[in-house]
Structure 1
């Protein structure tokens, strides 16, 4: 999982934080006729388009990526964003996205593809490009399609596949009238058939479980794209791609592409040092590069950013004082600061050769509300949380400083520009403090309620004696920590970086959450919230154990202890059955997550105004997803989903109603909020089985409206896409929806400037 954050279709839809690249951008179905007003992306791509004739022939492009992938097989569970990037450059895809987020036939591989029969079964006929061959000279054909279908059908458990959606509906794959035709027959109607065989692997990879499981993890012997994979040098952090001499399409302008692993917080340094030519960056680095390009700097950036006039005066006094030991130490510090400032100035000069290209990623950030148990198991409380939020303000907090459209996302299942997009947020309603307070009152949460011990319920004695409730699939059952244990005693599984009540004072965008002055009473191990107070119903069926919620420490102030008066604008504390209404808000603590924390702070203040307290817990990035989101150890959290081009297929596991498994656990698939309904599942099933694209999109929109009404997650904003690119690099940058066209990337010839767009020569 990455931070803030594809185009080939992802096999498993990947969750992301806010600051890193998304793992996959699937294709999109055709547009419904009633969505013309919402059929345009909010922001266009920014890639410095240039005609191919203006590009130099040759050169090696160095492109920063998050990591060297563990596998080159995109259909395995540990595939990541770099796996997708390699596949885009070296493997066939039948369809890819255009700049408007619409699918287009990839003419380099596919002459045509269409449904030729619907009764008694759906049949799709693919006609392949006559020159399409693998790098070993063999024609791409039905044998490759059939091998991929068998591997991904789910019929043979020896294949370690991430998922089988779509392929499990295929009955057979056959050769057509000739070697260039492939006939695919489905056992059940499948609306998202265009999602299949992109990417397409050779039968040498898909033919046997061993070759599928291990053969394509570190190498691809046979490829078919504008580039070939030459080598992976994990020690150097490099994946080396070179021109494919057998490529029949437009010859790649570049000799090669080196994908170089660079951590997010080191990318400005890597750009300045000339180690990479292209890198996705965070807002802070983007601002630095913009200032460098303008030949400007600011004392609020760089090594001297924290040096106030008072500190500078004190430093000078110490360095020139009579205490020789103190003077020597301070002089050493000042020399280091001067050296750092000199280095920073040199980096700024180097960064002036770059520019920031920006758009919006095909992904959105949401507030997730865990409805498994606790207060958020009540739909009225979830709806109250939603009605307390000003989504326009939150979108503006993130996007306005970047000059990007600050429009809240109106759909869980599509983004503006996609066929299934419609703003269905009205099913839940906009910001309304009075309505939020009324919903809470209806749910029994009232101001000034007693905060004593809750009344015992049936089963408490049994639970206290050691009984356990059912565990949700994937949930971690950790032993409860001693009240005296410090959360910073170690950085093991589930350890957090501190919990505190958020204050009501404003902070500027991007400023990290304070870590000091935490209430020691909040220093509990929050990995296990179950307290033995009974079971709560999930979606009216399937029981799970109830989490223990943090103690209310009075109204929030600046990390206020119990009894601190409420600041202006904050509603009084709410309580029910002797328990305060306090929700655990889990946020990542890493250096690239400042934006997420700023958004989290703003949300906490909005909730505070209606009487909902939040205990903010910062956890390490490595622990954030696996130990908290996936395992259900949170009440509120921020994470992102990539927009799917095939929401009927790809979004269903995310919003499917959790169901009890055979072993008594709860199967949540990818529904980490644990909120779902039978009606949403039925709408997805109908959309998948409807071959009428307009009808399918309409069903997806209806499903989205009901997802909004359930209040399990609140889409907030489309994520910014910021890419630092050397000024002489064309046809590369912030792609938005578009699948990158690798053969058109290149360096401008000397003395040329980008034109209206790439030619087809």
Structure 2
């Protein structure tokens, strides 16, 4: 299942104006600025694409990350972070992969076919590539699918799963004509079935709850990709993968990939010193300046499925458990002003995101934010109506001040700047906001994942499946948090999401998804702010790598390499 991945807002803040080149090399100058997210001029991918025979055989790609995975099991609640997902693409199967334009294709290294063989009930038949074997020597089988589906159906709360979407609709998984023939039957139709079983895991991981939750916390025990784990060094904060000689597909060009934790502010220096081979510019003009002066840098930009948002904590006992209070707070946050402050130096279009399920650039994107846009006077009136009366600088009710805690990862200037803007805006309507930086390595595991916040800021990395990737964020299930870290939702929203999930007609499903999005706004679930420009500083000698658009789930590790 390709859920949305989480990424901290760790890029430095844009501070000074600069004219940026659109997608060309860092040394080319230019006066057009970065292209606007979702515009027709932005490429679906900008990766220095070339035939693999033009690439060297060998080399080490040095890849900066914010953290090593808290758990190498992406399906476990602590494992669903972006850096971990990027690493998984090198060592684990993705039975369907995403193209840059968000279309999906079956991965022939793992399957020979995957077809809908019945629509009532819906039955998918997967035929496994007979060459596909796990690193323990065992051939892929239908039992891997069965164990995977059983764990992720959400029925056993001992398994701390990060998502159940699609799997909860499966009624049975059966052996077909042989062990490599799998038949999956759905009790309820699930249109985005291609989102399931990726990354794919062996049945051994899903044997029991303790193994599922803890066995892969330190390292992945069984792999099946073009690369395998060479070393993991928690002291040096590095993980290295190397070519797996048992790999049955096309030989990758790289010998190794070295993932190393590097603070975002230090990445331009690390690149200049040869310690890393690319970095995400995000929204930082100063970082772009550094990239522009480095003769080894090419700036690449594409439509990036990456957006920043505010998550609210509406769990029972939280100060924001009151939906009407959340909506009033939402109206007190000027996303237009925040977007202009962060993006205005980088691109012309600073229009905030108005949809939780579709991003700019999608043909189905609609701005559904109308009734919930910034309106300080309306926010004040609603707070008064709720009994939160102005008392000095802050409002109070029943002797309690209206003060909220915004948790952000430390050393993240964009989060800090965004928080400070929100702090000023909320103060104007009588709401206090304490900004609490926490260690970035603990941010998700000890704060976001467990609801230890009133508000928090991070990025959602989207994918090709609006329901398969996002239902677990917005569906309220008392038995499973999934990725609904704010514990917000209602039966109406659940039903709208279920309806969209079961609709097989693409046009009708898009309408259903937008209907669900309107309800997500109505319940005050979270506040989207802006979409990333998708700009990366990449070593000029890298081929088939840069700004990949949607083709990062997974990255195409077989084709990445250094130019001859």
- Give the TM-score taking structure 2 as reference length: 0.80
Contact 2:2 2:468 in 1 (8 A): no
User: Which SS does the other structure have where 1:200 is aligned?
Assistant: coil
Aligned equivalent of 1:127: 127
Q: 2:437 aligns with which of 612, 619, 622?
A: 619
Within a 5 Å distance, the mapping from 1:544-555 to structure 2 comes to 552-553=392-393
Contact 2:44 2:100 in 1 (8 A): yes
Q: In the aligned structure 1, how far is the partner of 2:150 from the partner of 2:272?
A: 48
Within a 5 Å distance, the mapping from 1:69-218 to structure 2 comes to 69-79=69-79, 80-119=81-120, 121-129=121-129, 131-134=131-134, 139-153=139-153, 161-177=161-177, 180-206=180-206, 212=212, 216-218=216-218
Q: In the aligned structure 2, how far is the partner of 1:378 from the partner of 1:205?
A: 40
Contact 2:57 2:253 in 1 (8 A): yes
Contact 1:414 1:645 in 2 (8 A): no
Distance 1:45 1:19, change over 3 A: farther
Cα deviation, residue 280, structure 1: 3.6
Q: In the aligned structure 2, how far is the partner of 1:590 from the partner of 1:725?
A: 26
Q: 1:365 aligns with which of 308, 312, 315?
A: 308
User: Which SS does the other structure have where 1:686 is aligned?
Assistant: helix
User: Which SS does the other structure have where 2:97 is aligned?
Assistant: strand
Q: In the aligned structure 1, how far is the partner of 2:291 from the partner of 2:469?
A: 42
Structure 2: give runs of 5+ residues left out of the alignment: 13-37
User: Which SS does the other structure have where 2:558 is aligned?
Assistant: helix
Q: In the aligned structure 2, how far is the partner of 1:202 from the partner of 1:82?
A: 21
Q: 1:588 aligns with which of 408, 417, 423?
A: 408
Contact 1:110 1:126 in 2 (8 A): yes
User: Which SS does the other structure have where 1:401 is aligned?
Assistant: coil
Cα deviation, residue 147, structure 1: 3.7
Distance 1:138 1:292, change over 3 A: closer
Within a 5 Å distance, the mapping from 1:309-458 to structure 2 comes to 351-359=294-302, 361-371=304-314, 379=323, 381-403=325-347, 405-418=349-362, 421-426=365-370, 428-440=371-383, 442-443=385-386, 451=391
For 1:669-696, what per-residue CA distance to the aligned partner results, in whole angstroms no more than 9, with x for missing partners?
6544454332112212222333444433
Q: In the aligned structure 2, how far is the partner of 1:96 from the partner of 1:657?
A: 28
Cα deviation, residue 248, structure 1: 4.2
Matched, 1:732 2:551: no
Q: In the aligned structure 1, how far is the partner of 2:382 from the partner of 2:144?
A: 56
Cα deviation, residue 652, structure 1: 3.9
Cα deviation, residue 745, structure 1: 0.6
Cα deviation, residue 75, structure 1: 2.2
Q: 2:416 aligns with which of 597, 602, 608?
A: 597
For 1:465-520, what per-residue CA distance to the aligned partner results, in whole angstroms no more than 9, with x for missing partners?
xxxxxxxxxxxxxxxxxxxxxxxxxxxxxxxxxxxxxxxxxxxxxxxxxxxxxxxx
Distance 1:579 1:596, change over 3 A: same
Distance 1:125 1:266, change over 3 A: same
User: Which SS does the other structure have where 1:742 is aligned?
Assistant: coil
Q: In the aligned structure 2, how far is the partner of 1:178 from the partner of 1:423?
A: 49
Within a 5 Å distance, the mapping from 1:559-598 to structure 2 comes to 582-588=402-408, 590-591=410-411, 593-598=412-417
Q: 2:519 aligns with which of 700, 706, 713?
A: 706
Q: In the aligned structure 2, how far is the partner of 1:220 from the partner of 1:15?
A: 20
User: Which SS does the other structure have where 1:680 is aligned?
Assistant: helix
User: Which SS does the other structure have where 1:274 is aligned?
Assistant: coil
User: Which SS does the other structure have where 2:536 is aligned?
Assistant: strand
Q: In the aligned structure 2, how far is the partner of 1:442 from the partner of 1:158?
A: 43
Cα deviation, residue 706, structure 1: 1.4
Aligned equivalent of 1:718: 531
Q: In the aligned structure 1, how far is the partner of 2:78 from the partner of 2:189?
A: 30
Q: In the aligned structure 1, how far is the partner of 2:283 from the partner of 2:318?
A: 36
Matched, 1:741 2:556: yes
Q: In the aligned structure 2, how far is the partner of 1:416 from the partner of 1:47?
A: 21
Matched, 1:17 2:18: no
Cα deviation, residue 377, structure 1: 5.6
- How many matched pairs? 534
Q: In the aligned structure 2, how far is the partner of 1:99 from the partner of 1:287?
A: 28
Aligned equivalent of 1:332: none
The Cα RMSD (Å) is: 3.8
Residues 380-389 or 720-729, more deviating: 380-389
Within a 5 Å distance, the mapping from 1:629-640 to structure 2 comes to 635-640=454-459
For 1:45-100, what per-residue CA distance to the aligned partner results, in whole angstroms no more than 9, with x for missing partners?
33222232321222222212233334432222332434322321122212121112
Cα deviation, residue 282, structure 1: 5.7
Cα deviation, residue 742, structure 1: 0.7
Contact 2:282 2:532 in 1 (8 A): no
Cα deviation, residue 633, structure 1: 6.3
Distance 1:704 1:730, change over 3 A: same
Q: In the aligned structure 2, how far is the partner of 1:578 from the partner of 1:612?
A: 16
Cα deviation, residue 176, structure 1: 2.9
Cα deviation, residue 117, structure 1: 1.2
Q: In the aligned structure 2, how far is the partner of 1:238 from the partner of 1:9?
A: 25
Aligned equivalent of 1:499: none
Q: In the aligned structure 2, how far is the partner of 1:165 from the partner of 1:422?
A: 23
Q: In the aligned structure 2, how far is the partner of 1:360 from the partner of 1:744?
A: 21
Contact 2:169 2:188 in 1 (8 A): yes
Q: Which has the larger radius of gyration?
A: 1
Distance 1:642 1:101, change over 3 A: same
- Give the TM-score taking structure 1 as reference length: 0.61
Q: In the aligned structure 2, how far is the partner of 1:208 from the partner of 1:624?
A: 28
Distance 1:190 1:251, change over 3 A: same
Within a 5 Å distance, the mapping from 1:536-547 to structure 2 comes to none
Contact 2:355 2:517 in 1 (8 A): yes
Cα deviation, residue 246, structure 1: 4.3
Q: In the aligned structure 2, how far is the partner of 1:384 from the partner of 1:600?
A: 18
User: Which SS does the other structure have where 1:640 is aligned?
Assistant: strand
